[in-house]
Structure 1
Amino acid sequence: MIDHTGVTVSDYGRSKAFYEAALGTLGYGCLAEFSAEVTGHTDVAGFGEKASGKPDFWLSVGTPNQPPIHIAFRADSRAAVEAFHAAAVLAGGRDNGEPGLRPHYHPHYYGAFVLDPDGHNIEAVCHHPG
């Protein structure tokens, strides 16, 4: 089981604002933040489910991952997937797949994709019917 993961971003402030807006629709928030003085090398922000209090997705400043990576976040409803997509695009993300069914994965796979400011493919997905 994965405990945490993250991406390296080129513009910390821009990316932090993007993820706060996009992931906020899924109940995620910035739960921890440490400066380069604390980490010894870079500023970092840890996002996680607000209810858990534990960060599991981290941003750090540096040369963005190449090639960009794909990360999918679980959504509790199709409406949350739609809210994620709208908020992410409004926050500067680029559409990479509007909300909708992807039955080639399974009959209830409902997802939406956006490219973050550094081109990472970020997805919200709901596996529940209707």
Structure 2
Amino acid sequence: MFDHVSIGVSDLERARKFYDQALTPLGYTRLSTSDNWVGYGAEQPQFWIKRAARPVVPDIDSGLHFCFVANSEEAVRSFYKNGVANGGTDNGEPGVRPEYGSFYYAAFMIDPDGYRLEAFFRRPE
């Protein structure tokens, strides 16, 4: 459905350091870099982070979050571990989410700018 998604941040270097570490275990790398943006993806940039004079103020109660697909439970755990070690905040440790189904293995965190993130792996049923 989406070709790409963009978020605005006030500190691009801080965001770059965070996302370089958090997304690598999921198979997503920084594929585009400039003084004003970075783009991440597997084959082409699909998640863009841009320097913004007035980034949208993230609201934990808004329901907005970004979920990244993982290819294993280990990738979900590494996403979480790397992210928290690089400025992210815990919002749900890695594990099965029975409220979504026995197949749903995920971890949740908040990035340094307040955006809610999730990594999800669909376990075999």
Question: What TM-score does the superposition give when structure 1 sets the normalisation length?
Answer: 0.87
Tell me what 1:39 maps to: none
- Structure 2: gaps spanning 5 or more residues: none
Matching of residue 126 in structure 1 with residue 121 in structure 2? yes
CA–CA separation in structure 1 for the residues paired with 2:33 and 2:72: 29
- Structure 1: gaps spanning 5 or more residues: 36-42
The CA RMSD over aligned residues, in Å, is: 1.3
CA displacement at 1:129 relative to structure 2 = 2.8
Count, aligned residues: 120
CA displacement at 1:106 relative to structure 2 = 2.0
Question: What TM-score does the superposition give when structure 2 sets the normalisation length?
Answer: 0.90
Tell me what 2:20 maps to: 20
CA displacement at 1:121 relative to structure 2 = 0.5
CA–CA separation in structure 1 for the residues paired with 2:33 and 2:84: 24
Listed one character per residue, the Cα deviations across residues 85-116 of structure 1 (whole Å, up to 9, x for unaligned) are 00000111001100011121122101001110
Aligned-partner SS, 1:97:
coil
Matching of residue 97 in structure 1 with residue 96 in structure 2? no
**Match among 42, 52, 57 for residue 66 of structure 1:** 57
CA–CA separation in structure 2 for the residues paired with 1:128 and 1:33: 34
The percent of aligned pairs where both chains have the same amino acid is 43
